[in-house]
Amino acid sequence: MGTVSTSEFRKGLKVQIDGTPFLMVEMNFRKPGKGTALYECKMKNLLRNTIVDRTYRAGQVLEEADVSEFTAQYLYRQGEDFVFMNNQDYEQYELNAEQVGDTWKFLKENMDCSLMTYNGNAIAVTAPNHVVLQVEFAEPAPKGNTATGVQKPVKLETGSEILAPAFINTGDWLRVDTRTGEYVERTTAPE
């Protein structure tokens, strides 16, 4: 593993601090009137999903984290565990419900996702930005309710619920933004 000096700090950098991988979410350079330059960083703990603030002086060095990301296919859920397969070497990885977080709401079998590993162990998964899911249940819209912007909760095939326009019916296909969990548009069935 290599090292990274403060001059190489940037958003998206993955470093290791005290044996824990961190993702640099934000980095600000500050040069006070006296003394050395400061690098103020917001770091996301990749194991706990918490954010910490750290300040480094110019010239300090951090270790690079052994973190890799690759495309993996979501295979199935087994109790509280989710099983994924690397599309390149077919190796399987398991993530627990806590590691998957709210991403489970958008996972469909055979869907390609981005899997992050640290020292060969899966630590996080990211769904594609947009997914197409079928509405499993939607209350019928009341007759005559033509006001724009009226929304109702609908249940998707993955078991999650989102708000969708009143004209959405059971069986419709919806494009959903996985980053916000919001309805994007009604669409046709995926091929």
Question: For 130-187, which CATH class?
Answer: mainly beta
Residue 147 binned pLDDT confidence (cut-offs 50, 70, 90): low
pLDDT tens per residue across span 9-31: 998 899 999 989 999 999 999 88
139 to 52, 78, 135, 174, 177: CA distances (angstroms)? 43, 30, 11, 16, 22
Whether pTM exceeds 0.75: yes
Pick the CATH number of 3-64 from 3.40.50.1820, 2.30.30.90, 2.30.30.30, 2.30.40.10: 2.30.30.30
Q: Bridge-partner residues for 125, per DSSP?
A: 115
Question: Would you kindly state where each structural domain of the chain is located, as residue ranges?
Answer: 3-64, 67-126, 130-187
Say if domain 67-126 classifies as CATH 2.40.50.140: yes
Distance from C-alpha of 117 to C-alpha of 41, rounded to nearest angstrom: 23
